[in-house]
Amino acid sequence: DQQVKQNSPSLSVQEGRISILNCDYTNSMFDYFLWYKKYPAEGPTFLISISSIKDKNEDGRFTVFLNKSAKHLSLHIVPSQPGDSAVYFCAAFSGTYKYIFGTGTRLKVLA
Amino acid sequence: ETGVTQSPTHLIKTRGQQVTLRCSSQSGHNTVSWYQQALGQGPQFIFQYYREEENGRGNFPPRFSGLQFPNYSSELNVNALELDDSALYLCASSLAEQGLGDEQFFGPGTRLTVL
């Protein structure tokens, strides 16, 4: 049973435009959400996180939005750059389940 | 500051064998977690150690076991290897006490192939 879902396996965006990556979760016990970026042959690297008590967190070009009633979060990257091309994982954290990762979305930013 | 390192990079084993994977956490990081990432999937949580004690476990059988040492290194041991154990194994360390949802730093992983 997939508690964290990323329903879009891939996404292509033009350079300079906005990239929106989506993530849905099923368990309301999650109290912290994180986004990771992964390049080939490397481990995931942390991008941005959000606590369940907030609905938005911004860090430079990256913004994460959390809609608790819909159990949905999204990562916005604007403007998108070719170096952003990678696989993006969302992860949810709770004391019980620790970290649950989604299956990832492969973002391709076209120059 | 050194990052998280893992060894070996690649490993090939046969069914029924045992394997030990190693991880060296960032200095000062008391929490280490191990993940299994199958092809096309996200990392799946195996277990977490905090100050050398297991602090949480995912849905993995007892033949997956671990150790954490005082020098910030840790091991993942898998007994009686099965074909489905073929995956990328990632370790991640963090400063957070008992892994309270803080940023984790991942190593590059060990690619295990079971034939």
The verdict on B87 touching A (C-beta cutoff 8 Å) is no
> What is the average pLDDT across A8-23?
97
Considering only alpha carbons, which residue of chain B is nearest residue A5?
B42
Contact of B42 with chain A, judged by CB distance below 8 Å, is answered with: yes
Intervals of chain B under pLDDT 50:
none
Kind of pairing, strands B10-13 and A105-110? unpaired
DSSP state at residue A55: S
Residues of chain B in contact with residue A23, where contact means CB-CB under 8 angstroms, are none
pLDDT in the model for residue B102: 66
The pLDDT of residue A26: 93
pLDDT of residue A31: 86
- Cα nearest neighbour of B37 on chain A: A103
Which of B36, B88, B104 to substitute to test the interface with A, most A CBs within 10 Å?
Answer: B104
pLDDT of residue B2: 63
Mean pLDDT of A29-42: 91
End-to-end CA distance of chain B: 38
Cα angle for residues B92, B76, B5 (degrees, 5° grid):
45
Chain-wide mean pLDDT for chain A? Answer: 93
The candidate with the shortest Cα–Cα distance to B76, out of B41, B32, B113, B108, is B32
pLDDT at B28: 83
Enumerate the β-bridge partners of residue A21: A75
Region of residue A46 (left: phi > 0; alpha: psi -120 to 50; beta: else)? beta
Distance CA(B21)–CA(B6), nearest Å, equals: 8
Pairing of strands A10-14, A105-110: parallel
Torsion sign over Cα B33, B40, B58, A98: positive
Q: pLDDT tier at A108 (50, 70, 90 boundaries)?
A: very high
Q: In the 8-state DSSP scheme, what is residue B25?
A: P
- pLDDT, tens digit (0-9, with 9 covering 90-100), for A40-74: 888 999 999 999 999 999 999 999 999 999 999 99
Residue-wise DSSP of B61-113: -TTEEEEE-TTSEEEEEE-S--GGG-EEEEEEEESSTT--S---EE---EEEE
State residue A25's pLDDT score.
Answer: 96
Query: Which carries the bigger pLDDT value, residue A78 or residue B26?
Result: A78
Whether B61 and chain A come into contact, CB under 8 Å, resolves to no
CB-count exposure of residue B71 (10 Å: 0-12, 13-18, 19+) = exposed
Q: In what order do the strands lie in the sheet with B19-24?
A: B5-7, B19-24, B73-78, B64-68
DSSP letter at A59?
E
Q: How far is A73 from chain B (nearest CA, A)?
A: 16
Interface test with B, best of A96, A99, A105 (most B CBs within 10 A): A99
Question: What is residue A99's predicted lDDT score, i.e. its pLDDT?
Answer: 87
Whether chain A has a CB inside 8 Å of the CB on B39: the answer is no
A88 touches chain B (CB under 8 A): no
Residues B35 and B41: beta-carbon distance below 8 Å: no
Alpha-carbon gap: A18 to the closest alpha carbon of chain B (Å): 24
| Distance of residue B44 Cα from the nearest chain A Cα, in angstroms | 7
pLDDT of residue B98: 53
Q: What pLDDT is recorded for position B100?
A: 57
What is the rounded CA–CA span in Å between residue A85 and residue A48? Answer: 16
